[in-house]
Amino acid sequence: MKRAIIESRPYLLLSLLFGISYFFLFVLNEPDLPDLVKMLWKGAGVGFLAIYALRRVHGFDGKLIAAIMAFGALGDMLIELDLILGAAAFLVGHCIAITLYLRHRRPSTAFSQKLFAVVLVPVTIYIAWSLPHDRSEALGIAFYSAFLAVMAAMAWTSEFPRYRVGVGALLFVVSDLFIFSRSGFLQNSAIPDWTVWPLYYLGQFLIATGVVRTLRDKLHVPNP
């Protein structure tokens, strides 16, 4: 079984290797390595998820989930250079994700789940808007968070596994809120350092694997 996984999903294993090692090598430590190495290492974690998705699912939906991960990886790298550039890449990824989730709506959704998705959007936007001490940043953060929140709401109410893809999207939201908290009440705290990357990477991993598995099941392709 282990050999089958290694042979069929090498890019998933490479993603785990880079995603987990990035946290211990670059977040918890400050190695004497060029910034370019750090940037590429950071992008490789989600970048390999994009390749994994592209190789595992063919067709338009496969390209969509691969593009979501690709723009996530691009955002991971660009944010090391400029926060706005990184946010722009992530925003494009959120728009693509919303498109994918709209293409795969859940046939019927319980009222409580619909209510959660509806409430999630304004609550996320309000929390994000309220976080920065510099109020000149609040509007831009709220604008970005609107796309982030809609993406998560669409994931939660899509036909993809809620406790994999939906939870993954929520982890993405929480991770970004911790990023914004660095401009506010956690600016002198180590909490964001310990939470942002693990929550974000786990969220992306759950989204990619959950979407890929569902799409392969719909195409009746075996999942070794």
Contact 143, 185 (CB under 8 A): no
Q: How many CB atoms lie within 10 A of CB 18?
A: 21
Chain mean pLDDT for the chain: 92
- Tens-place pLDDT, residues 125-172: 999 999 999 999 999 999 999 999 999 999 999 999 999 999 999 999
Q: Would you place residue 12 in the very low, low, confident or very high pLDDT band (cuts 50, 70, 90)? A: very high
Overall pTM surpassing 0.85 (yes/no): yes
Contact 124, 152 (CB under 8 A): yes
Lowest mean pLDDT among 23-32, 138-147, 163-172, 177-186: 23-32
Round to whole Å and give the CA distance between 9 and 56.
Answer: 8
pLDDT at 3: 53
Contact 87, 79 (CB under 8 A): yes
Q: Is the dihedral of CA 199, 201, 203, 206 positive or negative?
A: negative
Closest CA to 204 of 145, 127, 152: 152
Closest CA to 106 of 156, 56, 72, 178: 156
- Tens-place pLDDT, residues 45-102: 999 999 999 999 989 999 999 999 999 999 999 999 999 999 999 999 999 999 999 9
pLDDT at 30: 77
pLDDT at 33: 82
Tell me the helices (H) and strands (E) count for the chain, helix number first: 9, 0
Round to whole Å and give the CA distance between 192 and 75.
Answer: 18
pLDDT at 4: 44
